[in-house]
Chains A and B, each alone.
Chain A
Amino acid sequence: GNSVTQMEGPVTLSEEAFLTINCTYTATGYPSLFWYVQYPGEGLQLLLKATKADDKGSNKGFEATYRKETTSFHLEKGSVQVSDSAVYFCALSDPGGNEKLTFGTGTRLTIIP
């Protein structure tokens, strides 16, 4: 079946540090890949997505590249801010074409001023 393995947290960084959160996946076929972010007390929000190999998704300074050869979709940001503190989820869509998502376990990120 489909699965997502995500870097375990929690992760604590200083403001302006470089961020990487690792995500690898297992799936048959070619899923779409997503990063969602969850702020305290809220639901998940789409951060970025990529729908095919070598696509780069980007939003709010975050980037992730769909690497089929390494089955990875690592999230990066060059300079984090306190407002980036949240829980980040990697997810993949069902390669069968419907929109069901399989999520990783989430990584809690805390940025210290």
Chain B
Amino acid sequence: NAGVTQTPKFQVLKTGQSMTLQCAQDMNHNSMYWYRQDPGMGLRLIYYSASEGTTDKGEVPNGYNVSRLNKREFSLRLESAAPSQTSVYFCASSGGQGAGSPLHFGNGTRLTVT
């Protein structure tokens, strides 16, 4: 089972460049999430989508946009990358069964902005 698939695995950008991080899940989950992981700060929620057609801001949305393209796919876009966006980005999905539902994570995208 593929689970949650993220592309690319690694990316280096120059300040001001744009890029889109792709995420797809094959578990028929309703909810999808983008987190960023930084040393000493754990994981912080950027955006989430409770269902197809809806998106909401998380804790750290500034500088990012998202698209829930369909039930399977949830992309994260950096319009003008900044060094502060150097991080590891994780996509996750969950089955929509309420607060006890676990999240299933992809393997991450390591992004460096120079």
**Contact residues of A: prevailing secondary structure:** loop
Q: Give the docked Cα–Cα distance between A51 and B99 (Å).
A: 8
Most chain A beta-carbon neighbours within 10 Å: one of B41, B42, B99 = B99
Q: Are A99 and B94 in contact (CB under 8 A)?
A: yes
Q: What chain A residues lie within 8 Å of B44 (beta carbons)?
A: 103
Annotate B90-114 by CB proximity to A: 1 below 8 A, 0 otherwise: 1010101011111111111000000
A82 on the interface (CB 8 Å rule)?
Answer: no
B74 on the interface (CB 8 Å rule)?
Answer: no
User: Which size class do A's interface residues fall under?
Assistant: 20 to 34
Q: Give the docked Cα–Cα distance between A18 and B92 (Å).
A: 32
Partner of B99 from the list A32, A41, A42, A106 (CB cut-off 8 Å) is A32
User: Which size class do B's interface residues fall under?
Assistant: 20 to 34
Residue of B nearest to A46 (CB): B102
Knowing A95-B99, A99-B99, the reply to whether A105 touches B41 (Cβ < 8 A) is yes
Count of CB-CB pairs between chains A and B under 8 Å: 66
B27 on the interface (CB 8 Å rule)?
Answer: no
Partner of A99 from the list B40, B98, B106, B108 (CB cut-off 8 Å) is B98
Q: What chain A residues lie within 8 Å of B101 (beta carbons)?
A: 99
Contact residues of A between 45 and 73, Cβ < 8 Å to B: 45-46, 49, 51
Residue of A nearest to B30 (CB): A99
Q: Are A44 and B42 in contact (CB under 8 A)?
A: no
Knowing A43-B90, A43-B106, A44-B90, the reply to whether A97 touches B33 (Cβ < 8 A) is no
5 smallest A-B Cβ distances: which pairs? Answer: A43-B105, A93-B99, A103-B42, A46-B102, A105-B42
Mark B residues whose CB is within 8 Å of A: 4, 31, 33, 35, 40-45, 48, 50, 58, 90, 92, 94, 96, 98-108
Mark A residues whose CB is within 8 Å of B: 4, 6, 31-32, 34, 41-46, 49, 51, 89, 93-106
- Known pairs A46-B102, A99-B31, A99-B99 / 9 extra A-B pairs, C-beta < 8 Å: A31-B99, A32-B99, A34-B102, A44-B90, A93-B100, A95-B99, A99-B98, A100-B45, A103-B43
